[in-house]
Amino acid sequence: MPITTPELKAQYIAVAEGRHGDPFSILGPRVIGGRTVVRTFQPEAKSIVLKDGQGASLGLMEKGHAAGLFELTVNGDCSDYRLEITTVEGNTYVSDDAYRFASPLGELDLHLLGEGAHHSLYEKMGAHVVSLQGVEGTHFAVWAPNAKRVSVIGDFNNWDGRRHTMRLHSPNGIWDIFIPGVGDDAYYKFELLDAQGVLLPLKTDPLAHYYEGPPGNASRVYSSQYHWTDEHWMSARTQAPSLDKPISIYEVHLGSWRRDHSGNERPLTYREHATQLIEYTKDMGFTHIELLPVTEHPFDGSWGYQPIGLYAPTQRFGEPDEFRYFVDACHAQGLGVIIDWVPAHFPRDEHGLVQFDGTALYEHADPRRGEHRDWGTLIFNYGRREVSNYLIANALYWIEEFHIDGLRVDAVASMLYLDYSREEGEWLPNEHGGNENLEAVEFLRKLNELVHAQGAVTFAEESTSWPGVSHPTYSGGLGFTYKWNMGWMNDTLRYMSEDPINRRHHHDLLTFGLVYAFNENFMLPLSHDEVVHGKRSLLGRMPGDDWQQFANLRTYYGFMFGHPGKKLLFMGNEFAQPEEWNHDRSLNWHVLDTPQHAGVSNLVRDLNNAYTQVAALHEIDFEHSGFEWIDYQDREASVVAWIRRARDGSIVVCVSNFTPVVRGNYTLGVPHSGAFKTLLNTDDKFYGGSGIRPAELLESQPNACHGFESSITLTLPPLATLMLVPEV
């Protein structure tokens, strides 16, 4: 007999109107006095026959509410049943009822989730195709502690928020439900009511593994079927990172590296990149590919730096398993893969994390802590354990699930300082009255410890003098493996933009980086940030006529590859892209048909080969013992000379002439007697230079110079860097 009490009737009405926050308390099987009452909400049903697990009829369910609530009381246990539904259109089908299944989340999972200590968060939260009691379906779980009601809506339930309202685990704010029959490629969102019962904007899944393409923004159920083939690579990676290995990174924006010119100028897919990009990068001698953020993001113009789907490779270039294929293919060719990762902030798009359950859940409520006004974004609340866990688990997700070798952490400075880009009165000090974000510091230290434990490395894009960014956490550092040397990049590019006749007045810009070069594990970045927003291309920033611009750039690259620190070049820099980078179109590959651009490409290839093969150029990057000045004071000639050393005592002598003047009979002190030969000359005709070169062999003389007992005399080519090695 349906609806026997006013209280039950009120609950029926709440379910039918989508206001009930705990439908598991009324729907599904309920044992009452040795009998089982089965209730279900099926708004499209005209009639429902309840059947047992073997398909036998248990009776016609009675309609308890006109909106589609049905119930039937049967004798004994009825935990295994099916619903034979006849719709108002006359169609009949058999369905499992989501409300007869218990939650697959175990007590340990719920405890760790509540404590913010579940580092495999992605295995339990989000959407996962599973089998419960022999029934295939998808388990959905989401964190929304302040919501009154959370429902899964999708193409499997007509986007009706009344159909699959989730179960709340109240101690930790996790909502979950298993929906039978839902499988891969189902489109879904979460529909939430805030604490006052107000319907919020529909939300995508914060842990979705795949997304609908624009203009839609639904999450998609996705299960990986990929079988990795990089066991040897991963086994070798479990060892501690070796700082004496060469790292030369090719930084790439997948959407604009190269486009398919056969039709609509579309970007290449992950699989196409796995052939073309890898082959090119390998040929150019780089050791790693770094990708601008591949996490899902709504706006192309953000280049991925305003992500919403942190757990999903963007669908722009294919499915997640196709991205796995790309990484696997990189490893097969000996290339490491780094992704830019953005834990500093997130966009305000209403379908994302902002006010997720009607409250400032992922962000700070106070705008003095929670807003990046410059970027129009919101700052993660690192002091909330669930948020910190969400981000740390995300970092581990990319390492575990996609075999990523390193994370370049974006905008670290904005995380470290509470007053970052804020005026007085626009920020709140920490508990000690300082401007350090102590919660972010703790988060970054924990992040780096856990990432290193997985055999991966981290790079900090950090532009301030914060001490110990790449020092171990046990010594008080932040624990990053490497730090981008933004000071070196800014100073040297300022120097290179000066007319050579004026460079003698700015000589310190060239040499100052060696004052602090060994304070951190530095990387020398010529990144995408230096070729956008009106800064021009690197070639365009070089002074002089056409010949001098190319010669300046070649000199600069030679100086960079001889300088202590790991290397990074943004795509297009390696062949002197003539125009500023535009994310909406391909690089100017056609310029490689001209000798000057092809010459720069040849130079970068040879610089990479020399850098990776000659130990003195990479082995001791972070210690004083790997570097020694020969002469840094010749500002009138704008010449600098130095020595790079390897642990076995082998050396490379580097000298850069930053003027277009040929300097004959130039004398350099050298650390020992004997002959020297040219390893690389950026003025070689093969690189587009004038072809002026030192003698084939440079015999040292017992003439003291620059503090050394021996010296060599040579001709310095104009606007050129030379690398010299002892003749064996």
Catalytic residues: 410, 461
What would the two tokens of residue 270 be?
């992950």
First to last CA, the chain: 100
- The DSSP call for residue 166 is P
Q: What is the spatial distance between Cα 249 and Cα 571, in angstroms, rounded to a whole number?
A: 10
- Using alpha carbons, select from 31, 639, 528 the residue that is nearest to residue 303: 528
Contacts of 609 (CB under 8 A, 6+ apart): 285
Nearest 10 degrees: Cα torsion 673, 677, 682, 686 = 170
Closest Cα partner for 394 from 52, 120, 687?
120
* Nearest-angstrom CA–CA distance, 562 and 611: 8
Give the Cα separation of 519 and 465 in Å (integer): 10
71 token code pair: 């119930």
* Residue of 273, 391, 385 lying closest to 335 (CA atoms): 273
How far is the C-alpha of 205 from the C-alpha of 689, rounded, in Å?
55
Is the distance from CB of 199 to CB of 189 less than 8 angstroms? Answer: no
Pairing of strands 566-570, 248-252: parallel
- What is the bridge-based pairing of β-strands 135-143 and 174-180? antiparallel
Distance CA 393, CA 391 (A): 5
Nearest CA to 666 out of 686, 636, 687 is that of 636
Distance CA 378, CA 353 (A): 9
Residues comprising the chain, all counted: 728
CA distances to 16, 303, 401, 525 from 485, rounded to whole Å, are 60, 22, 30, 7
CA proximity to 542, closest of 525, 558, 554: 554
Q: How many CA atoms lie within 13 A of 433 on its CB side?
A: 0
Beta bridge partners of 73: 37
> Cβ neighbours of residue 393 under 8 Å, at least 6 residues apart?
118, 119, 120, 121, 122
**CA neighbor of 46 nearest in space, from 63, 31, 32, 30:** 63
Quick one: which of 676, 674, 636 has its CA closest to 653? 676
Cα–Cα–Cα angle for 231, 236, 241, rounded to 5 degrees: 140
Give every CB contact of residue 571 below 8 A, 6+ residues apart in sequence. Answer: 250, 251, 252, 253, 257, 577, 587
Q: What's the gap between Cα 72 and its chain centre?
A: 52
Give the burial class of 372: count Cβ atoms within 10 A of its Cβ; 0-12 exposed, 13-18 middle, 19 or more buried: middle
User: What angle (nearest 5°) sits at the alpha carbon of residue 711, between those of residues 705 and 714?
Assistant: 115
β-partners of residue 287 are none
